[in-house]
A and B are shown apart, each in its own frame.
Chain A
Amino acid sequence: MRHRLAVFGVVTIVVLVLACAVGPSLLPFDDLHIDMRHRFQAPLAGPHLLGSDQLGRDMLARLLMAGRISLTVGFVAMSLSTVVGVLLGLVAGFYGGIIGTVLMRLVDAVLCFPSIFLLLTLAALISPGLATITIIIGLTAWMEMARVVEGQIRSLRERDFAVAVIAMGAPDRYLMLHELLPNALAPIVVAATLNVAQAMLLEAYVSYLGYGIQPPTPSWGNMLNNAQEYLTSAPWLALLPGALITLTVSALNFIGDGLRDALDPRMDLPT
């Protein structure tokens, strides 16, 4: 069951990434091309396959271009939070003691806050652009990773192989990066997959509220920003981007869950 869902997830993500990568160049319409004669064209009812928006821009072209942005934000923010989370978790788990306590209490403190409050405050302060939004999201989503890695490293460093490496006189850095980290890779990969899903959701929230990616650059989140006004007359403007977000995030969650089942049978609880 889970296995099949994970395969479905992988296929979905591959198709989406390919479509967003090559799709826009195959389409007859540019995502920024304004055509006031064909405003609010319903899907399958005219030249625009998936309809057009309030400025007559092609929805399909916009969805694909927005996909590029949203997927990029998701994956780059994940890489960023993975690096931060793994580094902090590694140091905290390896050294333990005061360093470990201070670092993990820091994680608790950040986790304590509704992430969207933090994110919005930061986004309101920094001029919102693709790079800044990605960085902000990456910096508000590393805590889970830090916890996972810390727990792994703390238990791994007591194992016989780690003790043997210490006895052979290897420096701390070698032990951490070449012996402990590779052994903790499975849960890191799982957490990273789920992290992409989380980052994409956060981008959608912030952009929907108007503090994220700024128009005319489309993202799945900011396409929904104005869509609520037209919910009565042009529901496809709201339905399509949200459906794509849900599809992508579900697919990523399925992959993460499947990976967890495959790599680490001990973990049973979903996040």
Chain B
Amino acid sequence: MIRFLLHRLAQSAVLLVIVSMVGFALLHLIPGGPLSQFALVPGMTQADLARVAHQMGLDRPLPVQYAEWLGRLLVGDWGRSYRDNQPVLSIIASHLGATLELMVTAIVIAVLLGTWIGVLGAVRRYSLADALATVGAMIALSIPTFWFGLVAIYVFSIWLHWLPAGNIATVGHETLSDYAVHLIMPALVLALVTVATWSRYMRAAMLDVINQDYIRTARAKGLSQRRVLVHHAMRNALLPMITLAGLQLPTLLSGALVTETVFTWPGMGRLFLDSLGYRDYPTVMGLLMFSAVLVLLGNILADLFYTVADPRVRLR
């Protein structure tokens, strides 16, 4: 177990270094860059620009800049934003809560709804409900998330006036129920793709399990259909789903970025877009690294959890 963990952590560390190198090189190799913000200031001369570049450390060779950035990162200094000179880590921290709120809610919705639809589809295989779920899932995977968000806003905010069209809460009126009302639509929109994927895999996993000998044994013992399904079949079918949950993280992060834009949600996705537009390299790098760490950690946790849930699996 410990050896497996160390091995995976070492692998992830190597991956992270590669990612940071590629990201750093990509960002810094383009013309324009952070200095173009200053180039438009009246009275700015070439000498001034050169001085600013020197102060920001942008005039040194790329490998040197990278080494310095990495060195600082390793001691916990993620640099400062070019935009407002705040430490990158505290900027990310201030946007993390909103994104986590959205993502965790979406995951919970997706798992509950997806499991239910998947189990139903497997138990009533080839029924009308199963066919509808199959076609529905394929259409759900074909809808652009942001457009689904726009349609939802049009229907529920503009047309029916049921839900607010965006933001995380009403300013000056931040009660718990206010947060909840603002959360419903973006969380459901973000969950859509995951519900579709999750229900398809859950259906397949249930179909795999449902013909096993131990299910026949459970039925033969005279257990109720409900007990067989929930305690015997579903628990086993959920095992492969743990890995899927880990693999879904990147998709969910991408979805969160788009969903946050549509619903003006003050999370990391919006921060990423704004920072990219401003050529705020330290913040963009910080966010890239942060999401990479999140994804890798998610995968390792999924693997670990898998062994806890299924003692037959031995980690190497």
Contacts and interface: CB of A to CB of B under 8 A. Distances in A.
Interface of A: 1, 5, 109, 111-117, 120-122, 124-126, 197, 201, 204-205, 208-209, 221, 224, 227-228, 231-232, 235, 238-239, 241-242, 245-246, 249-250, 252-254, 257, 268-270
Given A208-B144, A209-B273, A227-B150, A5 B135 contact: yes
Contacts of B201: 269
Contacts of B29: 125
15 contacts: A112-B19, A112-B296, A114-B251, A121-B288, A197-B142, A205-B145, A227-B150, A238-B147, A242-B147, A245-B143, A246-B147, A250-B138, A252-B142, A253-B138, A269-B204
Contacts of B254: 114-117, 205
B18 A209 contact: no
Interface majority SS on B: helix, strand, loop or mixed? helix
Given A121-B276, A231-B154, A114 B147 contact: no
B272 A238 contact: no
Contacts of A5: 135
Contact of A209 (B26, B135, B151, B261): B261
Given A114-B257, A117-B288, A253-B138, A125 B30 contact: yes
A269 B197 CA distance: 10
A253 B154 contact: no
A121 B258 contact: no
Interface of B: 15, 18-19, 23, 26-27, 29-30, 131, 134-135, 137-139, 141-147, 150-151, 153-154, 158, 200-201, 204, 250-251, 253-254, 257-258, 261-262, 272-273, 276-277, 284, 287-288, 291-292, 295-296, 299
A54 to B, nearest CB: 16
B261 A114 contact: no
Contacts, number: 128
A119 B56 CA distance: 27
A239 B143 CA distance: 12
Contacts of A242: 143-144, 147, 150-151
Contacts of A270: 137-138, 141, 200
A-B residue pairs, 5 tightest by C-beta = A242-B147, A249-B142, A116-B254, A250-B142, A114-B254
Contacts of B18: 109
A176 B251 CA distance: 34
Given A224-B150, A245-B143, A246-B144, 16 more contacts: A109-B18, A112-B295, A112-B299, A113-B291, A115-B250, A121-B23, A125-B30, A204-B144, A208-B146, A231-B150, A235-B154, A239-B150, A239-B154, A249-B144, A250-B138, A253-B141
A252 B134 CA distance: 15
Contacts of B134: 1
Most B-side CB within 10 Å, residue of A113, A122, A201, A252: A113
Contacts of A122: 26
A112 B276 CA distance: 20
Contact of A114 (B15, B138, B141, B250): B250
Contacts of A112: 15, 19, 250, 292, 295-296, 299
Given A116-B257, A121-B27, A238-B147, A111 B288 contact: no
A4 to B, nearest CB: 10
Contacts of B141: 253, 270
A121 B200 contact: no
B172 to A, nearest CB: 24
A192 B144 CA distance: 19
Nearest to A208: B146
B200 A228 contact: no
A113 B295 contact: yes
A133 to B, nearest CB: 16
Contacts of B299: 112
Nearest to A197: B142
A179 to B, nearest CB: 32
A270 B198 CA distance: 11
Contacts of A204: 144, 146-147
A262 to B, nearest CB: 16
